């Protein structure tokens, strides 16, 4: 049976067909037909954000937490351009976001019409795929293709731009008869290197397993663990690989790179074989690649062949699904222990150098949150010093329980992304942890949470500075704190203005009670932690430096060059 529907109505049907449950968006002129049709589809829950950037981050958070595509919607022009940072964030971290934008009517395109921007042009370099729907007859194929492209192979964002008159065009619609385009991933190279990889791993004396976001995306948790346990190879988790492997596990070493622990980076520098699964050797992980892992032969397992050899030379490439390939490796490698090597690494471990004035050490705050919130809590962090503390000082045991913007390093990510995480896992507690800078970038989303009853708990690590930039100024610019002191409103009063509970914590003894009260609130709640203003993150590999040369304490003040 067929019926005559508008493009906007067809779009709603297609979203239902793709099993979309929630959309994050903001209306405007060029997307009005879609918003007119939306209430006819009660299965689609729309969350009205307060800024389109937040819609994209929320869709991204939803996608990361659920493994399913997250959807955001905006109008043309400023609505569409406001999505851009969120789309780029999703692209850098391989997150399947589908962005739907309204466009001016086809007859107006190219005439500098009101609120016209070439959003397809703008987003081409930051999406997997970006298309205009030129006619209603193309709508179904293009929407289905968008969902397929976003999720298949290495996930990533896709943008569909739909002119207003196409949303209003009519078509005879016979339901989901038109099949989903095959969308088979491009020919994958067979894993020729499997035998060689097994040989290298079996013969290695100082092997390491480095685990990245690809392990979470592929759900290869059990396979990675089986491989590690069969061989005793120590496991390093990158920033986006955190929570791919339980941190209390005796084989877990920690995070590598710019703010990685000394023993982790030293182990990399000493390793003779590194098996890297689902990671892309970001410069924050490798430091200066010329000095990265100088003794290691690298086995790189990744779904995306273009990642192989991009940043570091690779001895063996394994291109394909992390789950299947890791399972094969785990079957084929010889059982062994790496006790001597692990003892060597233990001997490289340094006492933490950080000292905090007062008792509001980040570790104390995070321990309080962990203690009171319990297992199953998802931590969504923002970008800066607190992001590194949250990565290193919280023990992640649950799979995929740590979410952050790694590749783009987008301040303002945490609060809206945490909203998306809540919709993906409504029964589990979610904390958004931000600095006072990043929080002020998207704090308008408190209103969204109040309106929609989203019980995300927000923590602000308030140091009165754009802390990470201030730290660089302290270390590398002779303490010239240019444009980094940052004023904040009274967050407790801000919370009050939004009608939510807000707490200020100034002493370690207050942490647990404030956290417990925030958790008891049925809706959103906010806790501000006043931390030492000039606390630093240690150790630190200076930008462009080698992993062998960490800074472990503040340099004496010297004039900037």
Ligand X SMILES: Cc1ncc(C[n+]2csc(CCOP(=O)(O)OP(=O)(O)O)c2C)c(N)n1
Residues within the interface to ligand X (CB under 6 A): 382-386, 409-412, 435-438, 461, 463, 465-469
CB of 408 to ligand X, least distance (A): 8
Is residue 170 flagged as an active site residue? Answer: no
HSE at residue 106, side-chain half, CA atoms within 13 A, is: 11
Cα 64 off chain centre by: 7
CB of 12 to ligand X, least distance (A): 33
Is residue 114 flagged as an active site residue? Answer: yes
Question: How many whole angstroms separate alpha carbon 152 and alpha carbon 183?
Answer: 8
214 or 384, CB closer to ligand X? 384
The region, left, alpha or beta by phi > 0 then psi within -120 to 50, assigned to residue 376 is left
Residues 6+ away with beta carbon under 8 Å from 276: 210, 212, 298, 299, 300, 301, 302
CB of 440 to ligand X, least distance (A): 8
Structure tokens at 230: 């069969």
51 or 386, CB closer to ligand X? 386
CB of 347 to ligand X, least distance (A): 32
Catalytic site residue from 92, 210, 258, 468 = 468
Question: How many whole angstroms separate alpha carbon 546 and alpha carbon 286?
Answer: 8
64 or 386, CB closer to ligand X? 386
Question: How many whole angstroms separate alpha carbon 56 and alpha carbon 447?
Answer: 17
Structure tokens at 214: 């690809």
Is residue 167 flagged as an active site residue? Answer: no
Integer CA distances (angstroms), 245 to 45, 213, 494, 516, in order: 33, 11, 38, 28
Nearest CA to 11 out of 51, 69, 71 is that of: 71
Q: How many helices (H) and strands (E) does the chain have?
A: 23, 20
305 or 409, CB closer to ligand X? 409
The DSSP line for 213-232 is: HHHHHHT-HHHHHHHHHHHT
Catalytic site residue from 9, 24, 52, 441 = 52
Which residue's beta carbon is nearest to the bound ligand X?
435
CB of 88 to ligand X, least distance (A): 10
Integer CA distances (angstroms), 551 to 236, 354, 495, 535, in order: 20, 11, 39, 14
CB of 57 to ligand X, least distance (A): 11
Catalytic site residue from 128, 142, 164, 392 = 164
Question: How many whole angstroms separate alpha carbon 522 and alpha carbon 512?
Answer: 18
Match 């979203």 to its residue by tokens: 15
Is residue 52 flagged as an active site residue? Answer: yes
CB of 242 to ligand X, least distance (A): 17
Question: How many whole angstroms separate alpha carbon 471 and alpha carbon 485?
Answer: 12
217 or 537, CB closer to ligand X? 537
Catalytic site residue from 3, 40, 114, 170 = 114
Is residue 549 flagged as an active site residue? Answer: no
197 or 468, CB closer to ligand X? 468
Strands 97-103 and 252-254: unpaired
209 or 390, CB closer to ligand X? 390
Cα R_g (the chain), whole angstroms: 24
Residue 510: Cβ within 10 Å count: 16
53 or 377, CB closer to ligand X? 53
CB of 370 to ligand X, least distance (A): 18
Structure tokens at 560: 């900037």
Integer CA distances (angstroms), 76 to 104, 120, 160, 426, in order: 7, 11, 11, 31
Angle separating helix axes 262-270 and 339-348, nearest 10 degrees: 130
Catalytic machinery residues: 52, 114-115, 164, 468
């Amino acid at each position: 049976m067929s019926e005559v529907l508008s493009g906007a109505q067809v779009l709603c049907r297609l979203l239902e067909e793709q099993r979309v449950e929630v959309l994050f968006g903001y209306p405007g002129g060029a997307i009005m037909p879609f918003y007119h049709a939306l209430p006819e589809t009660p299965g689609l829950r729309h969350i009205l954000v307060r800024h389109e950037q937040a819609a994209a981050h929320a869709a991204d958070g939803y996608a990361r937490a659920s493994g399913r595509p997250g959807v955001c919607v905006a109008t043309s022009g400023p609505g569409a351009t406001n999505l851009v940072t969120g789309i780029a964030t999703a692209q850098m971290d391989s997150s399947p976001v589908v962005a739907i934008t309204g466009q001016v009517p086809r007859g107006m395109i190219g005439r500098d019409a009101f609120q016209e921007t070439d959003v397809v042009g703008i987003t081409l370099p930051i999406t997997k795929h970006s298309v205009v729907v030129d006619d209603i007859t193309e709508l179904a194929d293009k929407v289905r293709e968008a969902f397929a492209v976003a999720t298949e192979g290495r996930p990533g964002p896709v943008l569909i731009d739909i002119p207003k008159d196409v949303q209003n065009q009519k078509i005879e619609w016979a339901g989901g008869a038109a099949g989903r385009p095959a969308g088979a991933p491009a020919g994958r190279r067979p894993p020729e290197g499997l035998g060689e990889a097994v040989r290298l791993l079996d013969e290695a004396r100082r092997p390491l397993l480095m685990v990245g976001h690809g392990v979470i995306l592929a759900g290869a948790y059990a396979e990675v663990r089986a491989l590690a346990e069969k061989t005793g190879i120590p496991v390093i988790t990158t920033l986006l690989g955190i929570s791919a492997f339980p941190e209390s596990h005796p084989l877990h070493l920690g995070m590598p790179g710019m703010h990685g622990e000394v023993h982790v980076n030293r182990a990399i520098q000493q390793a003779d074989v590194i098996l890297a699964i689902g990671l892309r050797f970001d410069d924050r992980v490798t430091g200066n690649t010329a000095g990265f892992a100088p003794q290691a032969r690298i086995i790189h397992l990744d779904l995306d062949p273009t990642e192989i050899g991009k940043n570091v030379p690779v001895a063996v490439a394994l291109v394909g699904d992390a789950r299947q390939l890791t399972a094969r490796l785990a079957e084929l490698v010889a059982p062994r222990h790496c006790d001597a090597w692990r003892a060597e690494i233990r001997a490289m471990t340094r006492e933490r150098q950080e000292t905090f004035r007062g008792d509001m050490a980040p570790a104390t705050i995070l321990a309080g949150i962990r203690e009171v919130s319990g297992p199953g809590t998802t931590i969504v962090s923002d970008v800066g010093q607190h992001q590194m503390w949250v990565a290193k000082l919280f023990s992640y045991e649950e799979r995929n329980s740590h979410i952050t913007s790694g590749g783009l390093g987008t301040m303002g990510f945490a609060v809206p992304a945490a909203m998306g995480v809540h919709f993906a896992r409504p029964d589990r507690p979610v904390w958004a942890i931000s600095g006072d800078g990043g929080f002020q970038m998207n704090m308008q989303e408190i209103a969204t949470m109040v309106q929609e009853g989203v019980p995300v708990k927000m923590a602000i690590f308030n140091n009165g500075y754009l802390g990470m930039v201030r730290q660089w100024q302290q270390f590398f610019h002779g303490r010239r704190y240019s444009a980094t002191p940052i004023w904040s409103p009274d967050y407790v009063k801000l919370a009050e203005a939004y009608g939510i509970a807000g707490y200020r914590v100034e002493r370690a003894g207050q942490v647990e009670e404030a956290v417990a009260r925030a958790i008891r609130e049925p809706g959103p709640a906010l806790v501000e932690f006043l931390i030492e203003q000039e606390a630093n993150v240690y150790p630190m590999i200076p930008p462009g430096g080698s992993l062998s040369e960490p800074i472990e304490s503040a340099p004496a003040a010297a004039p900037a060059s």
